[in-house]
Structure 1
Amino acid sequence: MNPATFRQLDRVELDCLKGRLSHDGYAIVPQFLDPAGCDQVLASLQELHARQDFGDNDFTGTRTKRVFNLFAKTRVLDALLVEPNLLDLVHHMLGPGARLSIASTMEIHAGETAQALHQDDAYFPERPHPALVVNTIWALTDFTKENGGTCLVPGSHRQAGPVDPAARSVAAEMPRGSVLLWDGAVWHGGGPNMTETSRFGLSLNYCRGWIRQQENQYLSLDPAMVLGLPEDVQKLLGYDICEFLGWADGRHPMRAIIPEVRKRVYAGMRKRRS
């Protein structure tokens, strides 16, 4: 990434964005990444999407392509992840110990239907609660109501129960280069794409730093040894999923450490780099 890629935010704008995040649960930073930066990121991610299949259910989208584990596959996102103004907004919600939770893409193609409204921190039982997850979507193409711009229910992060099915949602309409941030407790979902072109978003989601195991079992244990452990031991070590937490490149973590699977994954990565 070129160094002068991001629009700088002054203190007044940052304070305004923080106020919207607290009150509405979401905020948009308009035209944050310049057109050249959008082109560079989009071109890199489209290479990954060229080999990606559509989803196979209504939630992930039968006309939506998603790629996971992005930081293992490209270096084009590094500057976006650590951009100081964006991190200022994330730390305002999560504190200084925030960590990347997931990095993925979502390309909503023509004919996709609306995704069901949901919360990305649905696994936390007590509500309302302080922000535990902050999600971002970088608009690498224009987001409109017609092409599947993310729909959000304003203020829904402050309520104890689920939203009424008839609750009014707002489509996040923003030009390419903009960034949408929202509290993971906000009810939201991808909108339907009623146009002939696709809508391409990059999702970099953050969580509080303490939402993790105290000891990093994944680096501490030899994957070859993990394969030979009893299944209940594997699960307690963290090689399992809970709700939608714990995936490895879109697969169950045990499938990700099976030698044949690892060999195919890394062979593909080397091929893309060559």
Structure 2
Amino acid sequence: MARAVPAAELANHEGALARDGFAIIKNLLQDDEIGAVRTELDRLHAACGFGGNEFTGLRTKRVFNLFAKTRVLDPLLINPAVLRLVRSALGPEAQLSIASTMEIHGEETAQALHQDDAYHPSAPHPPLVINTIWALTDFTHQNGATRLVPRSHLRQDPVDLREPTIPAEMPRGSVLVWNGAVWHGGGANRTDAPRFGLSLNYCCGWIRQQENQYLSLDPTLVSSLPEDVQKLLGYDICQFVGWVDGRHPMRAILPEVRARIHAGQGR
């Protein structure tokens, strides 16, 4: 089981996330959990090539649509410590925006600094996106640890690519949680071993998800998942957003209900 994080530690992380724009929960996963996740993700990476441009990484492998491909990540998606930080910023109706891997190999160059909520027309603004990256290897300055500009989520000026950064160094099994408005980018890997991260990014419940979970996952699969996972994948309502013909989406996903909807029949 993942480490139970004490309330005082979580409170400190919440404060750091609001103040500095990021927090690191160290040693959240145990060795056997890390091994199980890596075995499954290594399988998915076996046929995966490198990226096609400098931003995605000419020496970086990425796999997307993870929740349609494996169930090993379900416990990480609903980890209580991570969800407390996410919901402290985004509210109780936060949902998964995108899930992907980032395996940075040797000789990869640093990714350009950017924001993951740059589509919002003004800054600073309330949190819209909270990113997480689970370290499945040690993250160091030398092997490409994520680079951050602390407190940049509070700034009004555009991203300055020359701004000094700090590396989010952490032992494997740890999780970096940061506000999507923070200026950040992947680091350069100057070692011979890959740096392997799992990115589970969340957004407010009323924002369109970066990865279209409704087309990515088969409805039959979704209906078999635990309720907490269903909701975080986006099969929930956020006040007046997300209804299907007046029904909760997890009610409307049932084949017989959808058939009645399409036939124009009553509830």
**TM-score bin, normalised by smaller chain:** 0.7 to 0.9
Find the residue that maps to 1:53 and give its secondary structure: coil
Q: Would the aligned equivalents of 2:108 and 2:188 in 1 still touch at CA under 8 Å?
A: yes
Q: Which residue of 2 aligns with 1:249?
A: none
Deviations 1:148-179 (A, max 9, x none): 00000000000011243332201000000000
Structure 1 residue aligned with 2:139 = 143
State the AA in 2 paired with 1:175.
P
For these two proteins, the number of residue pairs brought into alignment is 213
Q: Structure 2: how far apart are the matches of 1:54 and 1:80?
A: 25
- 1:130-209 correspondence runs (5 A): 130-209=126-205
5+ residue gaps in structure 2? 216-267
The answer for the alignment partner of 1:225 in structure 2 is none
Contact map agreement 2:113 2:160 (CA 8 A) in 1: no
Residues 103-132 of structure 1: CA distance to partner in whole angstroms, max 9, x if unpaired? 000000000000000000111111100100
2-side partners of 1:23 and 1:212: how far apart? 26
Match of 1:77 in 2: 73
Could you tell me which runs of 5 or more consecutive residues in structure 1 were left unpaired when the two chains were aligned. Answer: 220-274
Q: TM-score, normalised to structure 2's length?
A: 0.78
- CA deviation after TM superposition for structure 1 residue 186, in Å: 0.2
Give, in angstroms, the shift of residue 18 of structure 1: 0.4
Residue aligning to 1:68: 64
1:46 aligns with 2:42: yes
The structural deviation recorded for 1:11 is 1.3
Which residue identity does 2:117 align to in structure 1?
Answer: D
- Separation in 2, partners of 1:103, 1:165: 26
Q: Does 1:212 align with 2:196?
A: no
Output the CA distance in 2 between the equivalents of 1:176 and 1:40: 13
Aligned counterparts of 1:169 and 1:15: Cα–Cα separation in 2: 25
* Cα distance in 2 between the residues matched to 1:74 and 1:163: 36
Structure-2 residue corresponding to 1:110? 106
Q: 1:21 aligns to what?
A: 17
Alignment map for 1:245-256 (pairs within 5 Å) = none
User: SS at 1:41's partner residue?
Assistant: helix
Distance in 1 of aligned mates of 2:177 and 2:82: 9
TM-score (norm 1): 0.76
Kindly report structure 1 stretches of 4+ aligned residues shifted beyond 4 Å.
Answer: none
**Corresponding residue of 1:35:** 31
The 2-side partners of 1:78 and 1:164 are apart by 36
SS of 1:91's equivalent? helix
CA distance in structure 1 between the aligned counterparts of 2:162 and 2:133, rounded to whole angstroms: 25
Aligned CA RMSD, in angstroms, stands at 1.5
Please tell me the residue identity of whatever aligns with 2:96: L
Whole-angstrom distance in 2 between the partners of 1:201 and 1:132: 22
SS at match of 1:182: strand
How many Å apart are 1:75 and its aligned residue?
0.4
1:83, distance to aligned residue in structure 2 (A)? 1.1
Give the secondary-structure state (helix, strand or coil) at the position aligned to 2:42: helix
